[in-house]
Amino acid sequence: MSSDAHAKRVIDTEAADKRRSDFYRALGEFVLEFANTEKEVLWILFMMSNVTDAVAKSIFSGVHLDRAKDFIKKIIAAEAARGVITYYSLMTKAFDHLELITRVRNGILHNGLQFWIDGDPVMHNRFKASAQQKVREHRISVQDLHNMILDLRKIGTDINVQFPPEGASIFPHVMASTRAPWRYKPPEQSAPPKKPRGSTPKR
């Protein structure tokens, strides 16, 4: 191997190692931010249930994120049925985007890393999916992780804006954050292959 080729290989290896280190660092921050969001949603559930902390901990201890969101939506529906109309639009829109991020988070943590493409890791559930329609693949870049981290922080802001402390004023930059667009855009999943049509017999 020539000295130039060897030097290029060393540079390529170092660049690949840096990309992977950057990804692992961003992944750790993303997992922590997601855990903070889970905590926020559970706190909102405790508060909206209108029971004491001791009762809330007894009833909702161990409730996962999706279940907590379902409970909150049921509380909102129950309030509406009693004629208590509160517009939780910020929170419900935040929940919709949180579902997208949750799918990615579950894909990473439950399926693990399969391989790398151009420095980006790819996660998929092809080994576990019971049908082609259930296959999910996520190619996650460091930028994707940063975008989801910022979106999770925005979700926390959007949720808390719906429940300001009595007499508190919401600063203009906080309201500007609630109007900002979501940063993470999930890639479209490839459609399952179509079954070939059978030939129609001639009459």
User: In which element (H, E) is residue 117 found?
Assistant: strand 115-117
Residue 111 pLDDT: 75
Q: Which residues contact 30 (CB under 8 A, 6 or more apart)?
A: 105, 145, 148, 149, 152
Residues in CB range of 33: below 8 A, 6 or more apart = 148, 149, 152, 153
Give the Cα-Cα-Cα angle 183, 187, 188 (nearest 5 degrees): 135
Rounded to the nearest 10°, the torsion over CA 124, 127, 129, 131 is 110
The candidate with the shortest Cα–Cα distance to 152, out of 87, 83, 88, 102, is: 102
Helix, strand, or coil (residue 116): strand
pLDDT, residue 83, reads 81
Provide the pLDDT for residue 198. 52
| Residue 160 pLDDT | 85
DSSP class per residue in 120-166: EEEEE-TTT-SSGGG--EEE--HHHHHHHHHHHHHHHHHHHHTSPPT
pLDDT given for residue 169 in this prediction: 63
pLDDT beneath 50: ranges in the chain:
6, 130-131, 133, 190-193, 195-196, 199, 203
Side chain identity, residue 181: P
- Burial class for 119, CB neighbours closer than 10 Å (0-12, 13-18, 19+): middle
- Delimit the domains of the chain by residue range: 3-179
CA distance 178 to 199: 55
Separation between Cα atoms, residue 97 and residue 147, nearest integer Å? 12
> 150: which residues sit within 8 A by CB, 6+ positions away?
183
